[in-house]
Structure 1
């Protein structure tokens, strides 16, 4: 594992992939707001990642390769909502909720891009090119 290809960078990459997919799912929900019978979709990643990394919490010096494997083994999960609809057509998309979640995902995405850029800036600075 190199100083560029580390667990921090891998975690940022997985998070960006998740957030990109989350924005796609939310956009799909919004696009189907007028589709009768459409059930909104939710995407999850954070809980699975947290549970996989929790096993390293009480280990004093976990192996970087074990942490890497846990990150790589974490997958995005997409579920269809079973929430009841307040609408007569059976559609359960809540535009307010979707817009808030989309904004949240966009901000998180920007933050992760900033983190990656910051890491590369520190590397450039360390080798005297920054």
Structure 2
């Protein structure tokens, strides 16, 4: 199946996994906005993907598909100081904005996958 889709489906899957997990982390931050000492978390994916793609360009044994598959998601904790007395550093306004942004990105990614399948369906039918 990878030959039909190339790397687009692998990348879409990884992107959707990332956005889904990012939404979960943001909602955890929002749920813990009143928890004393709680430090907000964030998810990274792009840096590892970029590094894996650069490595795959240097070696011929690893293709872009493998670089995408091997790129993992990393949960980080924000260690910056809090302006609050209880040590919690969650900024609910920023979290809600990021949640809205991530939700739109997720919907766009789902649409892109759907469009990819529609194009394939049209090509198969010969339309």
Q: TM-score, normalised by structure 1?
A: 0.87
Equivalent in the alignment of 2:85: 88
**Which 5+ residue runs of structure 1 have no aligned equivalent?**
none
Please state how far the C-alpha of 1:54 moved relative to its aligned partner: 3.0
Instruction: Report the number of matched residues.
Output: 126
Equivalent in the alignment of 2:46: 46
**Which 5+ residue runs of structure 2 have no aligned equivalent?**
none
Give distance in 1, aligned partners of 2:96 and 2:28: 12
From 98, 114, 121, the counterpart of 1:101: 98
Give distance in 2, aligned partners of 1:125 and 1:3: 14
Equivalent in the alignment of 1:36: 36
Runs of 4 or more, structure 1, over 2 Å off, are: 54-59
Give distance in 2, aligned partners of 1:16 and 1:71: 13
Give distance in 1, aligned partners of 2:40 and 2:63: 35
Give distance in 1, aligned partners of 2:68 and 2:84: 40
Give distance in 1, aligned partners of 2:32 and 2:75: 16
Name whichever of 100-109 and 27-36 sits farther off: 100-109
From 76, 79, 90, the counterpart of 1:79: 76
Deviations 1:22-64 (A, max 9, x none): 00000000000011111101110012112222345689xx77x
| Root mean square deviation of aligned Cα | 2.0
| SS of corresponding position for 1:89 | coil
Give distance in 2, aligned partners of 1:2 and 1:42: 34
Equivalent in the alignment of 2:15: 15
Q: TM-score, normalised by structure 2?
A: 0.89
